[in-house]
Structure 1
Amino acid sequence: MNKTETTTASPRMVRPPKLDGTVLEAMQACFAEVARHSHRLDEAPNPRTVAAEFAKLHDLVLTPAERARLDKPPLLPGSLWDDRAWKLLTNFITRPEFMPVHLVRFALLTGAIEVSDERITHRFVRMAEAYRCRHPLDLKAIGDAMQEVRMSSAALGRHFLWNAWAQWKPFRWGTEAVARYFREHTDLLVEALTAKDRHASIAHRGALEVLAQMSAIPKPLIEPLWKIAWTGPKPERPLAQPCLEKTPDCLEQVKAAVGSKSADVRAIAANWLCRIGDDTCEQPLLEAVMKEADELARAAMMSALERLQVPLSEYLTRESMLKEAAAGLAKKQPKELEHFPFDQLPAVHWADNKSRVAPEIVRWWIVQGCLAKNPQASPLLKRIAAEIVLTDRERLGQFVLETWIDLDTSPRNREALLQRARTRALTTQARAQKSLADLQAQMAKASAKEREELNDYLRYLQENAATPFEDIIENELAMLREFDRPTAIGSKGVLSVAAAMCGPAAVPVIKGYLNEWYGTRAAQCCALLQLLGCLDDSAAIQLMLAVGARFRTKSIQQEAARQTLSLAERKGWTVDEMADRTAPDAGLDESGALTLDYGHRRFTARLLLTLEFALEDAAGKPLKTLPTPLKNDDAVKAAESKKLLMAARKGLASVVQSQTARLFEAMCTQRSWRYADWDQFLNHHLVLRHLCQRLVWSIHERGRLTGTFRALPDQSLTDLHDAPVRPAKDAEVRLVHESLVTPAVSEGWRRHFADYKVEPLFAQLGKAAFQLEPARAQESDLLEFLGHLVNGLKLRRKAAALGLIRGPAGEGGWFTEYQKHFASLGVIAVVEFTGNAVPERDLLTALKALRFAATDPAAGGSMPLSLGEVPPVLLSECWNDLRQIAAEGSGFDPDWEKKTQM
């Protein structure tokens, strides 16, 4: 990376106020406390030395002597930056006397900025976040402060642009907090956008993220942006294009590009014009499509015209499709499809005249998809699919999906594997014999004592060398089957056909693949999620929501979140609104029942308030189970009815679990519904209404709480005095929480539930509520249960019961936190403890802190939140989680650090 100093204005040599003695005394006391708590006293800083060094903070610049001294080990080694030290230091650096230059010098003294290469560390990032909670601060102010001590302010910009691991997102400070700095450092953005080393993709992403926030694009960056937009890596092109749309002649240049000599550029331009959606885009696309010879570019143009709602009937006749297919199939076919069973493709028919779709057309869809390498269905293919008989197209889509998965997961051809196993077996056998001969030669020269020591190794090598050759082949074959499986990722584009054609049957197949292959085939899982995002099916949407909210593999979770957000935007909903509108109903009819047909007899499974199915016969007589079919019953229908009931019970359990979690999160985040929407999508939903009846809701009008209510089985509403409630259609509805109502209201509702023998869905009322003191709003950690001892296995069980999952494991499988994700808010609650191994062992552990981070699953990364930034109900609930976990142990122990050391 080029580290040439950026051109900037001369440093502003304005001396900051001199820090008085009280500040230095506070500093000395702070470091004395750090030293007192340190495990590693040999590394602990000397408070007097620290105070003496810190006294120089009022000086403006670093002298050469100071820089040389600071290039040695810092006053506060990284090993001492634990939770208590961090809290002490945070309280100190947020003092009102501190200016940005003091912050920078303090970072230099403590090693948070490394002098030798002016490297910004993650500790300085945390410092800056903490400082900004009490003082105005943006990137420019930090850069100016670095210049004031004669450091390069470019180091700050490079850290921001080139370090994906840093996960620093000052955009939360406001757009100008970042843009002001980079308007003065455009050369850093040019350097990042034109980088070509192995870290180039990181730099490109960083620069594009900055430019997306700027209202105008600086002139030196326009040419590099065009280069990325046309020929850059595929993931970067859609990031560069919106930046270029801020430039004056962008639209005209994109229109002109549909006539480019490059087919790739023509396709990119077509898709870009479609996204811009300007009325003037239609004519250039129509002219270009008439003379386009490249199949992929023509398909992109046709899809763009389809999105622009241009009639395509004259360009998209079945004769023209057959002609295009014949021309495409006459060319060399992709090698990725050499094993695809084209001869087994199911026949499909046009819906209007029931004539068969020419097999060449179907085959060309698959070949064209493979060439495009995009598993998502184009609008054009979706339109064509709509003209095919529904059952036919779903059968074709399912065949393509299952075939692709089979090609991706089935072992390779046995003969080819056997040949490779023989070759490897010869090598293994020769190596074993050579090792035995070498050892025998060594032992011939060794003393009697040395030979005795080598006897066990000799026997081991003799056994290896004597292994029959056929046994070696079988061992090698087993390893090849396990570790040398094929992959169909190169042909993922064929999934676009499945994306356009598949029905609900695709969802369990994709879910099964995700659950089995999440650990080793993340790219394939992401491709299937892109397919899933094209299915207009409630089960598909619910699967994406579930994976996006919580999944084992981060990249798969992020892809699900991206697809969920994209689908919601296409439908004009928020993600929460989409979840409401697509909640599954377990196959119930409008009356909340399931009809089970035996042919001669019929039975009914009716959903009770207890969220269980009650069986009854045609006369209304209760049944414990479905009866055995009689002779005059239809055996096939009876078997299907039993399967239907089993699937409904399983589906109901899944709906109740997922929707209960969603409602609990809605309480924590204080999500609000417009009453009319709540009544339609929750109160009248066949399953959700039963959940709503076990909760207390509040009404808000003009931002003021005006009442509380509970829903009844007939969908009417009542207050705690049994009076009817009729909210206005535009009133806001939220879930009640203990911290938001008076003690009298809380007690009244608890008595109401007891009187009517209604079991609350989850605890809203009656438990302790945590109220954050205003003075603690800028703190990042809750340390109320620091040092509470808990057995490691008890901690795991209680954490799991409360919905927390194990955090990331580090070296040796050691992890130090449990997490709870609140996907709708983009927040993670983190319970930190002294640590355990994976899988958990029966160790004595101690709780340390509760903290929160803002996340962006779609983009990755997270940033710490201050406690004041966390919604009060969510903070109270997580505090209660921690309180319950602490109650599983023996309480606080002043020697917790020693007792939990490994």
Structure 2
Amino acid sequence: MIQDEHLDNRNILSEEAIHLIVQDFGRYQDPIPQAVVKYLVDGGDDSVLQQLQSRYMPWPDERSMQSHNWPPAPSYELRSQMLHCLTTQDIEFYYRLTRTYAVEAENLQWYRPLSLDWLSLFLFFLVDFGRVTFSLEQPLALPPAITAHLIESLLLRVGEPADRLARLVFLADIQQADPQQCAVCRAAWIGASLPEFSAHSLKHQPVIQAALTHTALEQRVHALDMLTLCQMSPVPFASLLVDRATANSKIERAAALSILQRDSIAMTPLVQAKAQSGKAPERAHAARLLLDLAGVGTRVFLEEHLQVEQTASVRDAIEQVLIDLATLNAPEAEITLSPLPTVALEAPLPRSAYEAIHAVLMQLYESAQATYEAHQYQQYPDVPLPQPPSPEFVDRVYHCLQFGTATECLAIAPIYHRLAHLQAATQFRQLLQIPELEVIHVVRWLLLLQLLSIESQVLSSPCKTIPQGIHWKESEINTDLQRWCQQRQPDSSLRYLTSGFEALGIPGETIAWKMLTWEEFPFWSWGDRASGEYFAEHLSILDTLFELGPFPQVYFTHEQSARRQLFRILALLPTLPVRFILPLWDIALNGVQAEMPLAQRCLDHRPGTQERLHQLVAHSDPAIQLTVIQWLTHLKDHTAISPFQAALRRQPTSTVRDALLRALEKLGASIDEFLDRSQLLQEAQVGLQKGIPKALSWFAFDALPPVHWQDTAAPVAPEILTWFVVQSYQQKNPEPSPVLRQYIKLWNETDRQQFGQIVLESWIHQDTQAKSAIKEKGILSVAGACGGAAMVLVINHYLKTYFGKRLPQCLALLQMLTWSDDFAAIQLLLTIANRFRTQKIQQAAQQCVQQLAERQGWTLAELADRTIPWCGLAEDGTFVLDYGSRQFTAFLSADCKLSLSDGDGKILKALPTARKDDDSEQVKAAKQQWTATKKQLELVVSQQQARLYEALCTQRSWIFSDWEMFLHQHPVVSRLCQRLIWAVFANDSAQPIQTFRPQTNQTLVDAERNVVTVLPTAIVRLAQATVLPQELTQAWQQYWSNTQMAPLFDSWSVVYSLPAANAEITAISDFAGRSLSRHLLRQRALQRGYLPHTEEFEHGWITNYRKRFENIDLEAVLNISGDPPVSQEEFEVQIQELYFWRGCQLSLAEVPPVLLSIVWHELQAITTAVQTIPSS
């Protein structure tokens, strides 16, 4: 290798720099490295460049290069280190260096992103790409010797224009908007970060002016970002920057604002001038800009300008800014937190605690030894045999618990490694029973068990650091710790735990990291008060989250989750700090769609919110009007009715008018004032003047059936029918508008159902035959306002067929059903809301059902009971089919099957064929009725059987009078009730005071066949053996045997008694380790209502099956080893634990006993007759 004495080194390069150059080019075979180093350091003969070029070939990857014995690619990290060591300003040296880099890369096009030129390539080597993040808030750390002026001199040496660097930075041809992916943009960011670049670019102002006036928005935003990055003063480009800061694009305005704020005082007069003389949109944006630049100091100017401003949109903007200024000027409310005890680092424990600690360590040892002996070769081949805790080891742990630092606690070897992991929670619980234990001892024990670390992780590179340190997810540990902390500090349990962290030098934000990035982390279960006080003490975290930007635009998943939690936290704070109020209003009115309702919930109950919203109803911007209307409707603010009516009288746009009418109806106000049937035809004719939209060219308007008005029997004009379809398409909302529903209610019922059915079937045909009809989903609102029971069967089939392929269409159909008055439609929504294999569809149905219940003023359970379809049956379960000359009677059997009999009582297998004396039209209608009733009955029986099974599991209660009216008197459900045992409870009784079974004659009898009388106010539940005395269960089992009738559910008699030792355990692991084929598991799980976890089922491996019990907001989760849904290969899947989830894992003692019993036996049935294999 070349020696230093062989180099003249007139540029006085440091030894480190020369060493790094040698290391860089040492990739080549001799004599190229020596020649390259000699050429770079001393200059002279450049023939080595030809040798260098001949040695490089354009192989596509490193593996190919190695197989052909070619040198590996240069290292960004190595070259960046070398360039940072340079101090020389010799242009000739840099000329030789850039020539060498360019020649080396000339034949390696795959290495040079987008074939960058020599300058961009050189800029790339200034940074280590493996350790750099491009961010406006955090400029790049570049070599201090390589300045923008040096690059300018280098450009002149090469013979290129002096403004070449400025053009590369400001006029970069942005092909992609994401700077993390665009190589050209990366080069620009590096150039703008060069030392002295701001002064250099001022010599080339025409380039910056051209960039700021570019026709493309993304180019202008890029130029503004570069000005921010190089910390350019706004003064030289003040006029252009004010133009950009008052432009239409919100992104452009935000980018320009960050530059103007560098010199707010100088920029304020220019912005005031724009507010007075700019175009109307510019004047409106200038008012908001003045708020950001001058704050409360701009109040006088805006108040004076408001007196002379005539344009409504500008006046609206100024008025809103003045309201914001008043908010800023309001005194900050003091956040009062509960006092916490002082944490002492030296916390001696009595000798009795020593004995308890020794016992805990001994139990951990025994658990570790048992695990080691059972699974050494499968799981822990490298873990040594556990040794019993020596007295020295116990002493060391005892000392650490009393006096140890975090580092000292972590320095102790892991207590039996992973071997005792399953028993850690049990021993942790025992340790918490030491009476003298303080929070400092608890935190030290977490460190000793390595459940807590003192490492940190950055939430986002340009933002502040949020430490990550909590490693446990075991709900048993969380439950015990939560209970222990809440006993000592009921309202400040999280702050109390944090005080122990901080006493040991662990940042208080440690807890925040997991809460922010894991929405189901157990700490959320500590309660809203505890979470609110904790974050009130760490408001800087919220500042960080505001800086991240809207979560749909955040790149990293953990940052998206953290940003989403921002609004959850703000709603929990004891008092909302003033500095967060204006950003919240901006997001609530002008933010991205996903964040607007979250910000609104934070402001809902703040004083003055409703009054401000009432003013905004009359805002000149329709987008803000729509947002405010939805917001006030959500608040159920009846005082908004008057502003809504006043806005309607001002003749708003059609979209705003529709929203206002919907809002008035939801608030219970009459909309008759805004309906005029006499003007409907004229309105339709005007609306159709532009013709049928091209998007509806497939719709057969000529095939629409005739419709008549109910009161006059006069036909509805075809123009009106066509206009309703076209108008609904234009509104793009599958929920029918109030006006549409009110008019359609005036139609003949049979006509309107036929009309709606044709619209629905036409849309579905177009959607399934063509690529999609989702853009025409608005016409579904017509079907929703018209359709009857027939459409439910069509929609149910569509949902079952296309749930995984056409999600937006499925959601649109659910929205359509929300406003249907048909009981069958409501029951379908209830069924999907309770259990459906796709989570998004289930959640959408839950929202629809909630809206239905709120509209009627019922609970969800009452809605389900009151809307069970009768399927056309009379109270005795019969209906008549008329052929004209003869009649047939359909009747419902005890097992809910339909049978037929003729006039003489003879049982028929099917409807007979028509005779000559029969009325053909009546025969046709009878057969249609028979077919439709059978289909609807099958669906109703399935739905109600599932509801009753959930009622058995969750022990849902009915008031007897309601049970009698809605279940026992129902022709279908009464037959299901007859196959069940019911229990009667007094108000607070845990044991039933009576049990009964309904008879076919409507009487109620007990197990001894004695007639039972129940008080109307008594509580009724489905009987289950877990809550019945054993002798009573046996009596009912004998009853079923004597009647030779099978109960509807076998699980009514199963019993599982939770052992007292397992009360605090959070999972059923009795069947863990069993395995069965993936297809058999799926079949058995689906039969019992356990659905694959939706996200995994659609996008990846199935890791668990879930069964939700909506009545008690609880979910049973069965974990499995994994099952890829796209694979057809058969293989064994291993059963893991089953736990119950309600925001966090519940202990088994918290699960209702009946539910626990039934689920335990369901799990047993799923895993019955399967092989047990060793756990791995």
The TM-score with structure 1 as length reference comes to 0.79
The 1:151–1:356 alpha-carbon spacing in structure 2 relative to 1, beyond 3 Å, is: farther
Residue 984 (structure 2) aligned to one of 699, 719, 737? 699
Q: 1:94 aligns to what? A: 429
Q: Does 1:40 pair with 2:395? A: no
- SS of 2:485's equivalent in the other structure is coil
- SS of 2:548's equivalent in the other structure is coil
Residue 852 (structure 1) aligned to one of 1140, 1147, 1162? 1140
Q: 1:135 aligns to what? A: 484
Q: Does 1:397 pair with 2:756? A: yes
Q: Is the 8 A contact 1:112 1:124 kept in 2?
A: no
Q: 1:146 aligns to what? A: 501
Q: 2:1064 aligns to what? A: 778
Measured in 1, the distance between the counterparts of 2:747 and 2:621 equals 34
- SS of 2:943's equivalent in the other structure is helix
Residue identity opposite 1:715 in structure 2: Q
Q: Is the 8 A contact 1:694 1:759 kept in 2?
A: yes
Residue 247 (structure 1) aligned to one of 590, 595, 606? 606
- Identity within the alignment, %: 33
Q: Is the 8 A contact 1:194 1:224 kept in 2?
A: no
Q: Does 1:208 pair with 2:570? A: no
Which one has more relative contact order, counting CA pairs under 8 Å at least 6 apart?
A: 1
The 1:213–1:709 alpha-carbon spacing in structure 2 relative to 1, beyond 3 Å, is: farther
Residue identity opposite 2:877 in structure 1: G
| CA drift at 1:34 | 5.1
Residue identity opposite 1:852 in structure 2: F
Query: What does 1:661-672 correspond to in 2, within 5 Å?
Result: 661-672=946-957
Q: Is the 8 A contact 1:817 1:830 kept in 2?
A: yes
Q: 1:123 aligns to what? A: 472
- SS of 2:1138's equivalent in the other structure is strand
| CA drift at 1:66 | 8.1
Greater shift in the superposed pair: 107-116 or 170-179:
107-116
Greater shift in the superposed pair: 29-38 or 246-255:
29-38
| CA drift at 1:520 | 1.8
Measured in 2, the distance between the counterparts of 1:802 and 1:308 equals 41
Measured in 1, the distance between the counterparts of 2:732 and 2:513 equals 34
| CA drift at 1:521 | 1.6
Query: What does 1:605-644 correspond to in 2, within 5 Å?
Result: 605-635=890-920, 637-638=922-923, 640-644=925-929
Q: 1:196 aligns to what? A: 549
Query: What does 1:84-483 correspond to in 2, within 5 Å?
Result: 86-95=421-430, 96=432, 97=434, 110=450, 115-117=455-457, 118-119=467-468, 123-124=472-473, 126=475, 129-132=478-481, 134-137=483-486, 138-161=493-516, 163=517, 166-168=519-521, 170=523, 172-193=525-546, 195-196=548-549, 198-199=553-554, 202-213=561-572, 216-278=575-637, 280-318=639-677, 348-353=707-712, 365-366=724-725, 368-411=727-770
Q: Does 1:873 pair with 2:1154? A: yes
- SS of 2:956's equivalent in the other structure is coil
Q: 1:58 aligns to what? A: 401
Q: 1:882 aligns to what? A: 1163
- SS of 2:994's equivalent in the other structure is strand
The 1:751–1:841 alpha-carbon spacing in structure 2 relative to 1, beyond 3 Å, is: farther
Greater shift in the superposed pair: 838-847 or 390-399:
838-847
- SS of 1:723's equivalent in the other structure is coil
Q: Deviations over 1:364-393 (max 9, x none)?
A: 555554454432223343223323343444
The 1:344–1:613 alpha-carbon spacing in structure 2 relative to 1, beyond 3 Å, is: closer
Q: Deviations over 1:17-50 (max 9, x none)?
A: 5573414444444555555546332564885799
Residue identity opposite 2:836 in structure 1: F
| CA drift at 1:128 | 5.2
Q: Is the 8 A contact 2:675 2:739 kept in 1?
A: no
The 1:31–1:293 alpha-carbon spacing in structure 2 relative to 1, beyond 3 Å, is: same
Q: Is the 8 A contact 1:140 1:181 kept in 2?
A: yes
Greater shift in the superposed pair: 249-258 or 87-96:
87-96
Measured in 2, the distance between the counterparts of 1:863 and 1:735 equals 28
Greater shift in the superposed pair: 524-533 or 22-31:
22-31
- SS of 2:916's equivalent in the other structure is coil
Q: Is the 8 A contact 2:760 2:783 kept in 1?
A: yes
Q: Does 1:506 pair with 2:791? A: yes
| CA drift at 1:679 | 0.7
Q: Deviations over 1:468-490 (max 9, x none)?
A: xxxxxxxxxxxxxxxxxx33333
Query: What does 1:555-594 correspond to in 2, within 5 Å?
Result: 555-594=840-879
Residue identity opposite 1:748 in structure 2: A
| CA drift at 1:181 | 1.4
Residue identity opposite 1:110 in structure 2: Q
Q: Is the 8 A contact 2:835 2:1108 kept in 1?
A: yes
The 1:330–1:25 alpha-carbon spacing in structure 2 relative to 1, beyond 3 Å, is: farther
The 1:576–1:101 alpha-carbon spacing in structure 2 relative to 1, beyond 3 Å, is: farther
- SS of 2:1145's equivalent in the other structure is strand
Residue 757 (structure 1) aligned to one of 1044, 1066, 1074? 1044
Q: Deviations over 1:188-226 (max 9, x none)?
A: 345435631533764454233334455653433322222
| CA drift at 1:227 | 1.9
The 1:804–1:184 alpha-carbon spacing in structure 2 relative to 1, beyond 3 Å, is: same
Over alpha carbons, which structure has the higher Rg? 2
- SS of 2:664's equivalent in the other structure is helix
- SS of 2:599's equivalent in the other structure is helix
Output the aligned Cα RMSD: 4.0
Residue identity opposite 1:14 in structure 2: A
- The alignment covers a number of residue pairs equal to 801
| CA drift at 1:329 | 6.2
Measured in 2, the distance between the counterparts of 1:331 and 1:76 equals 80
Residue identity opposite 2:675 in structure 1: L
The 1:752–1:313 alpha-carbon spacing in structure 2 relative to 1, beyond 3 Å, is: closer
The 1:544–1:104 alpha-carbon spacing in structure 2 relative to 1, beyond 3 Å, is: farther
| CA drift at 1:609 | 1.9
Residue 543 (structure 1) aligned to one of 820, 828, 836? 828
Measured in 1, the distance between the counterparts of 2:792 and 2:835 equals 18
Q: Deviations over 1:439-462 (max 9, x none)?
A: xxxxxxxxxxxxxxxxxxxxxxxx
Measured in 2, the distance between the counterparts of 1:758 and 1:735 equals 18
Residue 526 (structure 1) aligned to one of 811, 822, 832? 811
Residue identity opposite 2:1141 in structure 1: A
The TM-score with structure 2 as length reference comes to 0.61
Measured in 1, the distance between the counterparts of 2:808 and 2:765 equals 16
Q: Deviations over 1:243-294 (max 9, x none)?
A: 3231111121011101212112123323434444555433323332222432
Greater shift in the superposed pair: 181-190 or 546-555:
181-190
Q: Deviations over 1:288-323 (max 9, x none)?
A: 222243221222223333444444444332466567
The 1:148–1:831 alpha-carbon spacing in structure 2 relative to 1, beyond 3 Å, is: same
The 1:845–1:733 alpha-carbon spacing in structure 2 relative to 1, beyond 3 Å, is: same
Measured in 1, the distance between the counterparts of 2:916 and 2:906 equals 21
| CA drift at 1:575 | 2.0
The 1:799–1:294 alpha-carbon spacing in structure 2 relative to 1, beyond 3 Å, is: closer
Q: Is the 8 A contact 2:475 2:522 kept in 1?
A: no
Measured in 2, the distance between the counterparts of 1:337 and 1:100 equals 69
Measured in 1, the distance between the counterparts of 2:1098 and 2:796 equals 31
Residue identity opposite 2:898 in structure 1: F
Measured in 1, the distance between the counterparts of 2:822 and 2:775 equals 27
Greater shift in the superposed pair: 538-547 or 493-502:
493-502
